[in-house]
């Protein structure tokens, strides 16, 4: 019989203090949609336009989740979070180019910066909060 400590150490298991992978994926999807919405805010902000802008990056995000097995440690910044971020940007830009959309250098730089903040920032925050909690009261 496994102790709860042993079960918590097994890959893919979550503990009461861990973030369920489905919640982390939902946050990632919402943040990619927010990224697309912010980009569309200078144009008409309608559902169709939002999805046209977002689909390449959502596809890249889902590809990254699968390839890098992000579900195993959904709040890791390194290496999974960084790999997820770079995969999301690279696949998103590639799909934009394949579909005839532009990818100006300034857009690529803004995309790298915003998606770094959106995909890595929340992960870093969760890890920081865990570290503060584990120290307990001062």
d(CA 93, CA 108): 8
Tell me the average pLDDT of the chain: 88
pLDDT digits (tens, 9 = 90+) for 69-86: 999 999 999 999 999 999
CB neighbour list of residue 10: distance below 8 Å, 6 or more residues apart: 2
Supply the pTM of this predicted model: 0.85
d(CA 64, CA 66): 5
Q: What percent of the chain has pLDDT over 70?
A: 86
Helix, coil or strand: residue 58: helix
Whether the Cβ atoms of residue 91 and residue 111 lie closer than 8 Å to each other: no
Q: Which structure tokens are listed for 123?
A: 């992960």
């Amino acid at each position: 019989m496994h102790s709860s400590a042993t079960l918590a150490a097994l890959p893919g298991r979550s503990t009461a203090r861990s973030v369920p992978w489905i919640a982390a994926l939902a946050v990632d999807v919402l943040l990619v949609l927010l990224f697309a919405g912010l980009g569309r805010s200078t144009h008409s902000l309608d559902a169709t336009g939002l999805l046209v802008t977002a689909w390449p990056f959502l596809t890249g995000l889902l590809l990254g989740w699968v390839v890098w097995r992000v579900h195993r440690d959904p709040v890791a910044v390194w290496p999974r979070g960084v790999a997820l971020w770079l995969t999301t940007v690279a696949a998103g830009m590639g799909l934009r180019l394949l579909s005839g959309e532009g990818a100006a250098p300034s857009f690529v730089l803004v995309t790298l910066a915003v998606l770094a903040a959106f995909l890595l920032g929340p992960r870093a925050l969760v890890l920081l909060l865990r570290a503060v909690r584990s120290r307990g009261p001062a």
